[in-house]
Structure formats: structure tokens, C-alpha cells
């Protein structure tokens, strides 16, 4: 499995609209992408304009399918001017749950 951890900082005054669009993308990812196994949207307690994403995909092809999905393209276009800085992305490998455990969840 392939995981992405993304840290996003939202410009002040744009959080509500950003989150509305972010949740549309998250729901679309889980509902419409068979290779997307998890898409968590997490808000920082100390800085409500800092959002973390934790995404798990079956493989690289599933990540590429996500990046081409209509809901992702809509999200990217909608929020492009609301980032306070460039998002920080980390590509990761899942250790636990194991690949076999993930296969049972989807």
C-alpha cells in the first residue's frame, strides 16, 4: 500500500470554503475510487488553519487515478489561491495494518 501524508496551511479567511471543497474531494475519493482505501482530513488543535491529510492507496496507479479524478481536479482548481504556502507532501509505505489487513477492509 502507498500512503500520502500532506500538511496544508490555509490562508486566513478561507478556511470554511476550503474545508467544504476539501470534504467534497475526500468523499469523492472514498466513494468513487476503488484504489483509495482511506482519506482522512485532520485539523490541528493549535492552528485551525493547518490541515493534515492521511491517504492510503492500493498502489501508484491508484494515486495517479486520484490525481485525474474529476473531484480532485475540481478541488485543486477551487482552492488554488487559498494555500498560505505550498503543501508539504510525504510518500510513505504502510507498515500496520499490513497489506493483507488493508485488503480485508475494501
> Nearest CA to 54 among 70, 69, 67, 36?
36
Q: What is the CATH number of the domain that holds 68?
A: 3.30.70.100
Q: What is the mean pLDDT of residues 21-41?
A: 96
For the chain, the domain total comes to 1
- Coil, helix or strand for 34? coil
Query: Rg (Cα) of the chain, in Å, rounded?
Result: 14
Q: What's the number of CA atoms in the CB half-sphere (13 Å) around residue 84?
A: 14
Range of the domain at 96: 2-105
pLDDT given at position 102: 72
Q: What is the mean pLDDT of residues 58-68?
A: 96
Which DSSP helix (H) or strand (E) runs through 59? none
pTM of the model: 0.91
Amino acid at each position: 500500500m502507498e500512503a500520502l501524508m500532506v500538511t496544508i496551511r490555509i490562508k486566513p479567511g478561507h478556511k470554511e470554503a476550503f474545508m467544504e471543497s476539501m470534504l467534497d474531494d475526500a468523499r469523492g475519493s472514498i466513494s468513487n475510487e476503488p484504489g483509495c482505501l482511506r482519506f482522512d482530513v485532520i485539523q490541528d488543535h493549535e492552528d485551525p488553519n493547518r490541515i493534515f491529510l492521511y491517504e492510503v492507496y492500493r498502489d501508484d496507479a491508484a494515486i495517479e487515478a486520484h490525481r485525474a479524478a474529476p473531484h480532485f481536479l475540481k478541488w485543486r482548481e477551487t482552492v488554488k489561491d487559498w494555500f498560505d504556502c505550498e503543501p508539504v507532501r510525504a510518500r510513505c509505505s504502510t507498515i500496520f495494518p499490513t497489506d493483507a489487513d488493508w485488503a480485508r477492509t475494501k
